[in-house]
């Protein structure tokens, strides 16, 4: 597996990897001295460190020896999200993919998802594992307001909108599960590495 290391200021190293979650899981298990935070993205992992404990050269030597572990094994427990599949884009996505609405829902609920990284808004988890048959582009014109709890897909990811916001993802349904709650500790229900399963429920 190819890993590329890039300096990122005085306190961080950016790791480019084909297996970001596996790399993150391996570093978490190793508990390397000086590492303060791991921030995953789609193809990179930001490794923040304490310069009083280590530096980029010493940390880089450690990072080059790391072998990713199976992130599915290392992931947190599975979260089941009940979904009412009545989204505004459901019929359009079915037509675009050549599937019936029933088949589309079956494929979406059959996916074994993992929270790959969070971004865009607090608690917005990009869930990898979407069936390739459901890989569709974003809407040409984003909506000005998507309700919290909307279950959506775009590209290779699925997601649950944590709060009302603009967005261009395709809406398949909705859930009452709050994926972001400031009164909860921690507030994020789907931190990176969490396994997720969607379950169809009646309205």
Residues 43 and 112 in one domain: no
Pair (58, 89) in one structural domain: no
Helix (H) or strand (E) segment spanning residue 152: strand 150-154
Say yes or no: 120 and 52 in one domain. no
- Of 71, 100, 130, which closes a domain? 71
**Predicted TM-score of the model (pTM):** 0.76
For residues 157 and 116, give the distance between their C-alpha atoms in angstroms, rounded to a whole number: 9
- Which of 86, 77, 163 lies closest to 125 in space, CA to CA? 163
pLDDT of residue 150: 98
87/60 same-domain check: no
What integer pLDDT is reported at residue 74 of this predicted model?
Answer: 47
Tell me the average pLDDT across 177-184.
93
Q: What CATH number is given to the structural domain containing 47?
A: 3.30.1360.40
Tokens of 113: 């998802």
Q: Does 70 have pLDDT greater than 80?
A: no
Together in a domain, 165 and 89: yes
How many folded domains does the chain comprise? 2
Q: Which domain holds residue 7?
A: 3-71
H or E segment to which residue 13 belongs: strand 12-17
- The predicted pLDDT at position 149 comes to 97
Asked if 56 and 12 sit in the same domain, the reply is: yes
pLDDT at 192 over 80: yes
Residue 93: burial class (beta carbons within 10 Å; 0-12, 13-18, 19+): buried
**Which of 45, 71, 97 finishes a domain?**
71
More confident residue, 157 or 44: 157
State the chain's mean pLDDT as an integer.
Answer: 90
Residue 99 sits in the same domain as residue 169: yes
pLDDT, tens only, 79-115: 999 999 999 999 999 999 999 999 999 999 999 998 9
User: Residue 198, Cβ neighbours under 10 Å: how many?
Assistant: 24
- Same structural domain, 66 and 83: no
**Residue (of 97, 89, 41, 35) closest to 62 by Cα position:** 35
Tokens of 94: 């079915």
Q: What is the CATH number of the domain that holds 177?
A: 2.40.100.10
In whole angstroms, how far apart are CA 74 and each of 27, 69, 78, 86? 11, 7, 12, 34
Same domain? For 156 and 109 the reply is yes
Domain boundary among 35, 54, 71: 71
Whether residue 50 is found in the same domain as residue 96? no
Residues 133, 55: Cα–Cα separation, whole Å: 45
Q: Is 81 within 8 Å of 178 (Cβ atoms)?
A: no
Q: Which residue did the predictor score with more confidence, 29 or 143? A: 143
Q: What is the mean pLDDT of residues 171-178?
A: 97
């Amino acid at each position: 597996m190819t890993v590329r290391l890039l300096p990122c200021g005085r306190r961080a190293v950016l790791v480019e990897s084909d297996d970001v979650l596996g790399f993150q899981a391996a570093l978490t298990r190793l508990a390397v001295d000086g590492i303060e935070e791991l921030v995953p993205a789609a193809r990179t992992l930001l490794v923040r460190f304490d310069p009083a404990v280590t530096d980029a050269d010493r940390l880089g030597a450690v990072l080059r020896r790391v072998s990713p572990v199976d992130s599915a094994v290392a992931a947190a427990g599975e979260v089941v999200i009940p979904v009412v599949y009545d989204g505004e884009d459901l019929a359009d996505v079915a037509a675009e993919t050549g599937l019936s609405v029933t088949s589309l829902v079956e494929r979406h609920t059959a996916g074994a998802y993992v929270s790959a990284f969070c971004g865009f808004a607090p608690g917005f988890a990009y869930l990898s594992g979407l069936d390739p048959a459901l890989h569709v582009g974003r809407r040409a014109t984003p909506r000005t307001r998507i309700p919290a709890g909307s279950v959506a897909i775009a590209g290779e990811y699925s997601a649950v909108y944590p709060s009302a916001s603009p967005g261009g993802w395709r809406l398949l349904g909705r859930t009452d599960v709050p994926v972001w709650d400031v009164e909860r500790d921690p507030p994020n229900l789907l931190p990176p590495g969490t396994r997720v399963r969607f379950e169809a429920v009646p309205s």
